[in-house]
A and B are shown apart, each in its own frame.
Chain A
Amino acid sequence: MKCSEFREQIEAGAPTGGEPRRHAATCRSCAEYAAAAGWSGALLQAGQTNGAGPSFQRLWAEIQRRNENNWAGALSFSFMRLVPYLAAFSLILLVIGTMGYRAGRHRNLNTVLWLAGSSRQFAGTIAPDMSKQPAATLGLYQP
């Protein structure tokens, strides 16, 4: 008999028959294994303690409570997951808005400058010839 077989039999219950007995008599290690198993088995059986679970109603109430918390948790978790996206979206809106505003300001400024430039041009080149009709000055009217 092999040691592994002997030990399998020990774990399955007390081995019976001559062969395991002969093996234990010749194998010191397996004899020690069997003695330790017998010792702890008997002691733990004698010293075992009993416990009881709660009523199913109590368990079910706890499950329901956690279920509700899970829903709330899942909702808040979903919202929390959205926060970075919302922040990124807000940032993009802010950037676009700023750029639009600056571009708008730029455009207005350009218009003002253009107008100012036109006025200067108007003043420098066209304005001395005040005898012409304004429309003729602008080239809209040919008398």
Chain B
Amino acid sequence: MLAETALWYGTVTAVDSQDPDQHLVVRAQAGDREAFAAIYSRYQGPIARLAANITRRPNEAPDLVQEIFTKIYFSLDRVRSDVPFRPWLYRVAGNHCLDYLRKQKRQPRTDSLIPEYDDGWLASTGPDPARKSEARDLVDKLFHGLRPRDRWLLVMKEIEGLSLDEMAAITGMAHSALKVALFRARKRMQKQYQMLRQRTTI
């Protein structure tokens, strides 16, 4: 069933009326604490990962998650039964992270050595914690130069592995627009990488 409805942050397109979260949402709307606890336990992990990766501040993830779920609790009455809950949740979480990023003052960038990134380097990042940390540092630096919206799209696609359908439901964008936005975000990240490489090798 396709339906479109105005929600808190805009519109979310309903793609499937068989929403597995719906009964929990209905109970939570009626004030059932256990139902809200079940929703939290189901989604706190993905939302914490999303927040940590968009902001690149894992230490602040608990506070961000708390703010996001508090916001969700007080907006539950605006969730319609014919609209899937998950895209709405991701939309609220994403928008909250974008707001957080916009409020942050720009931190001074530290130009440490940028590893030469190729397939071999990536393959070696697996079990080695030092390599993993190197990869995290690199993504931190690359994300620093990206727009908040680019970060959001890239995290949803590359880390959360969401489909274009789900991303369309979350962002309200058409598939074609999403593909263009993703391509541009990736190219900007590549450009950022090349700039950082040049700066640290000269």
Residues of A within 8 A of B (CB): 4, 7-8, 11-12, 33, 36-37, 39-54, 56, 58-60, 62-63, 66, 70
B119, A42: Cβ atoms closer than 8 Å = yes
A47, B136: Cβ atoms closer than 8 Å = yes
Secondary structure class of chain A's binding surface, majority of residues: helix
A53, B61: Cβ atoms closer than 8 Å = yes
Contact of B154 among A40, A46, A51 (CB under 8 A): A40
Contact of A50 among B52, B63, B64 (CB under 8 A): B52
What number of A-B contacts does a CB cutoff of 8 Å give?
127
User: Which of B74, B136, B137, B158 has most chain A Cβ within 10 Å?
Assistant: B158
Q: Contacts of B44 on A, CB cut-off 8 Å?
A: 52-53
In the assembled complex, the CB of B117 is this many whole angstroms from the nearest CB of chain A, namely: 7
Secondary structure class of chain B's binding surface, majority of residues: helix
Contact of A51 among B49, B125, B135 (CB under 8 A): B49
Interface magnitude class on chain B: 35 or more
Q: 17 other contacts beyond A40-B189, A60-B37, A62-B70, with CB at 8 A cut-off?
A: A4-B179, A11-B163, A11-B179, A12-B164, A36-B187, A37-B183, A39-B190, A40-B190, A44-B158, A46-B132, A47-B137, A47-B140, A51-B52, A53-B61, A53-B66, A54-B63, A59-B70
A39 to B183, CA, bound (A): 11
B183, A43: Cβ atoms closer than 8 Å = no
Q: Contacts of A37 on B, CB cut-off 8 Å?
A: 182-183, 186
Question: Is B65 at the interface (CB under 8 A from chain A)?
Answer: yes
A44 to B189, CA, bound (A): 11
Question: Is B3 at the interface (CB under 8 A from chain A)?
Answer: no
A–B pairs, 25, beta carbons within 8 Å: A8-B179, A12-B163, A37-B183, A37-B186, A40-B154, A40-B190, A42-B119, A43-B189, A44-B158, A45-B158, A45-B159, A46-B122, A46-B132, A47-B136, A47-B140, A48-B53, A49-B56, A49-B58, A51-B51, A51-B65, A52-B44, A53-B47, A53-B61, A54-B63, A58-B66
